[in-house]
Structure 1
């Protein structure tokens, strides 16, 4: 497994786990049955910060565990990275357009913040999943 493939796995797992923690925390705070009155901002910021920190720590640990691993990217790694990024970036655009439309429709801030966070997570998870699949099955020939 290349260093870049390991990084894709780290991003995939850490993003999914962090979002699951966020959803669990927010849903556990619902008191009156209305999600929009649930405090979410601190949980959102802590899970994002925690995910970033966890990714850094796991990548450092991966480097310490295998210091001889090749961190040099070849053409195949760059092509796979580009493909995964293109797949994932679609969700950033979807999130931006969705948030803009929700703001224009004057939806509650809770929904706008959560659709943006969800689309960032989908971008990371699906982009990383695409990279892992291509590493396992090969770069598609168009």
Structure 2
């Protein structure tokens, strides 16, 4: 498994865990009060920050483990990796645009900050997961 594919898998797994954690925290808070009264900012920031830190740590540890076996394969990259990365980026960008448009629509109707922030968070979350899935599939089946 090449460096970029390992990163795609790491991003996918960590994103799913982080999103699930955030949703569980929000659902627990929503059980006892209206969603507009939920303190969403600290859990969102901790989830995002924690996901980034965990992704970096796993990438480093996995890279060291692979590098101990085959130093050259630990960070090897070629044109296929760049093409797959670009394709995954385009997929991610499409979902970010959709989320951005939804946020603009929510702002236009005067929605509560909870809905605006969580719509953008969902856009980032879906973008990360779908982009990682697209990359993993491209590594396994190739680019068409």
Taking structure 1 as the reference length, the TM-score comes to: 0.94
Tell me if 1:110 matches 2:107.
no
Runs of 4+ in 1 over 2 A off after TM superposition: none
Q: Unaligned stretches of 5+ in structure 1?
A: none
Deviations 1:79-137 (A, max 9, x none): 11111111111111111111111011100000000000000011111011001001101
8 Å contact kept, 2:88–2:135 = yes
**Match 2:77 to one of 73, 76, 94:** 73
Deviation string 1:28-54 (CA, Å, 9 cap, x unpaired) is: 11213x211111111000000000000
TM-score by length of 2: 0.93
Partner of 2:127: 123
Structure 2 distance, partners of 1:70, 1:47, is: 28
- Give the superposed CA RMSD: 0.9
Which structure 2 residue ranges, 5 or more long, are not aligned?
none
Q: How much does 1:71 deviate?
A: 1.3
Alignment: residue pair count: 139
